[in-house]
Amino acid sequence: GAVIGDDLQIGDDTVLEANVSIGHGCVIGEKVIIHSGAVVGSDGYGYATDSRGFHVKRPQVGIVQIDDDVEIGANACIDRAAYGITRVKSGCKIDNLVQIAHNVELGENCLIVSQTGISGSTTLGRNVVLGGQVGVTGHIILEDGVMVAAQSGVHNKQKAGTTVGGSPALPMKTYVRAAIQYGKLPQMGKELRKLKKEVATLQEKLEKSE
Residues tagged active-site: 102
CA distance 140 to 111: 18
Burial of 13 (0-12, 13-18, 19+ CB in 10 A): exposed
User: How many C-beta neighbours within 10 Å does residue 177 have?
Assistant: 12
Cα radius of gyration (the chain): 24
Distance of CA 15 to the CA centre of its chain: 25
Residue 151: enclosing H or E segment and its boundaries?
Answer: none
On whether the CB atoms of residues 28 and 9 are closer than 8 A, the answer is: yes
Q: Is the dihedral of CA 134, 135, 138, 140 positive or negative?
A: negative
Task: List strands edge to edge, sheet with 71-72.
Answer: 15-16, 33-34, 71-72, 93-94, 111-112, 129-130, 147-148, 163-165, 170-171
